[in-house]
């Protein structure tokens, strides 16, 4: 059984009882030596994801120990789940037993040399390069790594889906040169990357045309797109319009196919390309979240024990925006 099925802009989201009571009430109850986590021993189908009791991580001197309140299931999580460890290593990925890329939570304790945070700080980030993922009650993350504070007034459920989708949208739109009055086409405007891309391109002052299926046309218009092409009725390849930036957020087209829609000097960018996460981008999307320029679209919310179902949903390739995992313990 899964949680809320209607999509919504996640303004009202996961606030833990601790968070609701205010920072002076931060729970300092001693933490147990084991925690609940989703583990996966070998690559394969979603059934391999198992709820387990595992040792709680012990932070290194430069680490924060974070009590996770919300995680997500991204497309990347599904790709990694299916990837044999050997292949993952070839791609420079660190295979791990506990999957999950995004998290939002509260600093529970700090290593002796961790700087910039105190117990009770609310933080969010990615687990790229770490030995453990975010489908767990706790994670140890380097204080100087891909972690930043959650802006005031933003809930865990709003912060958790931001890093992967919004950073990709931000980086690729910048790479494409989107800005004031650029004509921007966003293919796959209803996915995680796409819904952030529409909002970010509008924030940059661009004229945005989103491409989405019939059931998502309204959503993409509500996010601020000036025009929406329904790809089930009109092939964007034949739109006859001209764009300064074409961003394929869902990686379904090629530059060769779209070239004739580009203005002189225009650029085609796609999520099929590899990119490197930077702290600079994480801080940029944190600012966009703080100012209200971006609000994540949440399709469904699941409990930690329901991760298998969440993966099955994401795998179908039709999620709207983001999928949340609640880890309230």
Tell me the closest approach of the beta carbon of residue 323 to ligand NAP, in angstroms.
Answer: 8
With contacts defined by CB under 6 A, name the span among 45-53, 190-198, 200-208, 282-290 that binds ligand NAP.
190-198
* Distances 112 to 23, 61, 124, 232 between C-alpha atoms, Å: 23, 5, 21, 56
Site for ligand NAP (CB under 6 A): which residue of 134, 187, 281, 295?
A: 187
Please, which of residues 305-324 interact with ligand NAP by CB under 6 A?
A: 317-320
Q: Which of 168, 223, 294, 310 binds ligand NAP (CB under 6 A)?
A: 168
The yes or no reply on residue 249 touching ligand NAP (CB under 6 A) is yes
Q: Which among 45-53, 65-73, 177-185, 243-251 is the span making contact with ligand NAP, rule CB under 6 A? A: 243-251
Q: Which of 190, 199, 209, 281 binds ligand NAP (CB under 6 A)?
A: 190
- Identify residues 251-270 at the interface with ligand NAP (CB under 6 A): 251-252
216 binds ligand NAP (CB under 6 A): yes
CA distance 322 to 193: 9
The DSSP H or E segment spanning 285 is helix 279-291
Dihedral Cα 46, 52, 55, 61, nearest 10 deg: 30
Pick between residue 63 and residue 171 the one whose CB is nearest to ligand NAP. 171
Going by the DSSP 8-state scheme, the letter that residue 99 receives in this structure is -
CB closer to ligand NAP out of 21 and 279: 279
Long-range contacts, 76-79 (Cβ 8 Å, 24+) = 76/101, 76/164, 77/101, 77/311, 77/314, 78/311, 78/314, 78/315
Q: Give the residue with the Cβ less far from ligand NAP, 317 or 329.
A: 317
CA distances from 275 to 32, 85, 167, 327 (A): 38, 21, 10, 29
């Amino acid at each position: 059984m899964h949680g809320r099925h209607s999509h919504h802009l996640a303004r009202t989201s996961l606030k833990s009882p601790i968070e609701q009571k205010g920072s002076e009430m931060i729970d300092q109850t001693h933490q147990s030596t084991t925690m609940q986590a989703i583990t996966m021993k070998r690559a394969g189908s979603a059934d391999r994801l198992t709820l387990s009791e595992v040792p709680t991580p012990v932070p290194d001197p430069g680490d924060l120990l974070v009590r996770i309140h919300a995680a997500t299931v991204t497309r990347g999580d599904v790709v990694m789940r299916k990837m044999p460890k050997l292949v993952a290593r070839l791609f420079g990925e660190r295979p791990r037993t506990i999957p999950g890329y995004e998290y939002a939570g509260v600093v529970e304790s700090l290593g002796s040399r961790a700087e910039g945070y105190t117990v009770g700080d609310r933080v969010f980030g990615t687990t790229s390069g770490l030995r453990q993922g975010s489908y767990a009650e706790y994670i140890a993350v380097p204080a100087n790594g891909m972690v930043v504070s959650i802006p005031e007034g933003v809930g865990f459920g709003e912060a958790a889906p931001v890093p992967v989708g919004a950073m990709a949208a931000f980086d690729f739109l910048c790479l494409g040169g989107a800005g004031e009055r650029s004509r921007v086409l966003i293919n796959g405007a209803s996915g995680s990357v796409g819904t952030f891309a529409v909002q970010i391109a509008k924030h940059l002052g661009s004229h945005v045309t989103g491409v989405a299926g019939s059931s998502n046309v309204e959503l993409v218009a509500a996010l601020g797109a000036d025009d929406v092409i329904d790809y089930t009725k009109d092939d964007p390849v034949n739109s006859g319009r001209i764009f300064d930036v074409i961003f394929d957020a869902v990686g379904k087209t090629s530059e060769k196919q779209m070239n004739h829609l580009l203005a002189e000097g225009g650029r085609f960018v796609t999520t099929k390309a590899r990119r490197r996460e930077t702290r600079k981008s994480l801080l940029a999307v944190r600012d966009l979240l703080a100012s209200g320029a971006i609000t994540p679209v949440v399709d469904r919310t699941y409990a930690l024990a329901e991760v298998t179902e969440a993966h099955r949903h994401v795998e179908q390739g039709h999620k709207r925006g983001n999928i949340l995992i609640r880890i309230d313990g």
